[in-house]
Amino acid sequence: MSNKIQEVLYTGKTRTTGGRDGASRSSDGRLDVKLSAPWSKGEGTNPEQLLAAGWSACYLGAIGKASAELGLAVPAGAAVDAEVDLAKGDEGFQLQARLHVSLPGVDREVAQKIIDRAHATCPYSKALYASTNVKTTLA
């Protein structure tokens, strides 16, 4: 699949030291987090939580775009609960994810159209769907 980039809109830059038991800081200082493995007693967050937060935020933005394309407003209370699993499979470590979408007051058929459009728009979904087992449910 070839996807020629026409324009870079933003570049997130981080420096991570120490791996899962280290720290990560963005070049602008707005992100500065301690990291720890999910199974450790460390104080920090872990890459799976960071991915879940980033993906759900981006996906909710894509829901806004999809809703607007359908002439709808995003309902108050709209939310995406993301779960990202670190798993071990036949090919070693891999990820799988579940996105639970809540669009209060939106007809289920319309909500499904919004979800489908959001996956086609969200860069995280585009990047991860090809290589990750992802399940999306409508709450």
* pLDDT category of residue 62 using cuts at 50, 70 and 90: very high
Average pLDDT of the residues in 46-67: 97
For residue 2, pLDDT beyond 70: no
Question: How far is 99 from 135, CA to CA, in rounded Å?
Answer: 6
Strand 133-138, strand 92-102: pairing = parallel
Would you say 36 and 42 are in contact if contact means Cβ atoms under 8 Å apart?
A: yes
The whole-number pLDDT of residue 27 equals: 97
- Given the candidates 3.30.300.20, 3.40.640.10, 3.40.920.10, 3.80.10.10, the CATH classification of the domain at 47-138 is 3.30.300.20
User: 13: which DSSP letter?
Assistant: -
* pLDDT category of residue 85 using cuts at 50, 70 and 90: very high
Q: Does domain 9-45 have CATH number 3.40.50.300?
A: no
Residue ranges per structural domain of the chain: 9-45, 47-138
The whole-number pLDDT of residue 88 equals: 93
